[in-house]
Amino acid sequence: QLFEGGMIIQWGNFSVAAASASSTSVTFPIAFPLFCLHGIVNVDDAATDQIGTISKTKTGMTIQKGANDTWARAGTWIAIGY
């Protein structure tokens, strides 16, 4: 979704493997022209440990879960940028 002033909001789904500290890379549908301000992650089922973004670029971000979490996780993400 492109807003007046150039702000872009994008969203999608992700899944992370069951192994502890697993991560997955998400490629944005549209590369941000300047930068990704923030990536937000939501887990569909209750997580026993933390999950979030560990890196983000204009073209994507990496989602990683905690070292003590040994369940496969799935959910949604939102990225905001310009």
Whether the model clears a pTM of 0.95, i.e. scores above it, the answer is no
* pLDDT tens per residue across span 38-70: 999 999 877 777 899 999 999 999 999 998 889
| Long-range contact pairs involving 51-59 (C-beta distance under 8 Å, separation at least 24) | 51/16, 51/75, 54/23, 58/28, 58/31, 58/32, 58/33, 58/34, 59/27, 59/28, 59/31, 59/32
Kindly report the CA angle at 59 between 5 and 71, in degrees rounded to 5? 120
β-partners of residue 39 are 79
* pLDDT tens per residue across span 4-16: 999 999 999 999 9
* pLDDT tens per residue across span 10-39: 999 999 999 999 999 999 999 999 999 999
Q: DSSP alpha helices (H): ranges in the chain?
A: none
